[in-house]
Structure 1
Amino acid sequence: MNTTRLPGLLLTLDGPGGVGKSTTARLVTETLARSGLPVHSTAQPSRARLGELARHGTDTYRGMALACLCAADRHHQLDTEILPALVEGAVVVCDRYVASSLVLQGLDDVPTEVVWQLNQGVYQPDLSVVLTGDAQVISARLRARGGHSRFERAPDNSLREVRCYLRAIDNLRERDWSVTSVEATTDPPETIAAAIVSLVHHALTEKSAACP
């Protein structure tokens, strides 16, 4: 893992399809920006060519092929977008990161250790948030929205993803990642976003204290 810490703060948001990641990311970004902080919002897969190939290719690419695409896009996005923003001192809000790879590539039967090998050297987030909750509620949201990938179109997707994200949380913590699980099926999006913004401000305070 990349252990060099940069001036900015990386917040990643992961969770099952339909749990509300994109809405939460937007609300967190807007709230942080209103408070006067420099914020850079992004997502994975990225909007670069590699990312678009991974985003729209889940029916074509599977297993190691998709895992390699997602990892390559992450490494490229870090070098060209995320790390430069962190160097400038921004709070980077990233919709999906390594936790999503652990889950989705795991659903494709790619071993966890292989996913970590492909993601070797990625920048460790200052704060990794995994949104989770009741699988039936998440599934209903997903069906109302429509699936964006073959994973989300699978009939048992929500239950499988909820279970896999719980395992991913444990795996990330074993590697000393700062991970917080947030229940996202009971409170309104604004309340969830406010709780995450509070975590960000706390992390910024701790970071300032560590780097006088």
Structure 2
Amino acid sequence: MSTVNLTVKTIIKDYLYNFETISLKKGDSLTLYKREVLPVLYLLSLGCLRLSKRYSNKKRTIALITPNSVFSFYSKSGFKDAYHQLEACALSYIIIYKPEVSIFFIELFHIQYYHLEYFNELLYTRNLLNRLINLLLFLCKFFGKISKRGILINLEITHEELSQIIGTSRTTITRILNILKDTKFISTCKRKILIHNVLYLSCLFIFL
């Protein structure tokens, strides 16, 4: 057995046994602010929870958490006045894993959580043009490949798929993309989108 495999198994063993449990009755809530120390992971073993993001003057439901779901309250979105709240929809039991020996797993989880949160925030706009630009910038960030003409989104994606992601029709996507092409913000190459200048496209979103 290699040293690497032995180390990973040791971490997993410590991770699995370093936890505590809490229970929430229906209607009970648990509020956590952005942590200044290492975050912890939560596992819902039984019940149903409503996860919300609260701001100074509003609350937005992010997800319904079902049994065997792993989640965290750690946030990298930059909203300092925001925090998370759990509300039990039924009697719920939560396993809380400590951060001391689980940093490796926590960081992996938060990469995925950050992507989901970032994607959620970007698409939370009513303007369809802004929504599509946000999606293109998101794809550029995670799938972008630098070329001589700009940044190529190295992902084949159809107009139908884009329309399903942002919640509109395929014809609307085609119309908006044609506008961006005519104004030289983007072009297409073998079913891939090329963004000529990310900064200009970002500015277009800001001023819309």
- For the aligned pair, the TM-score class normalised by the smaller chain equals under 0.3
The structure in which a higher percent of residues are strand is 2
Q: Which has the higher contact order (CA 8 A, sep 6+)?
A: 1
The structure in which a higher percent of residues are helix is 1
Q: Which is greater in Rg?
A: 2
TM-score normalised per structure 2: 0.22
TM-score normalised per structure 1: 0.21
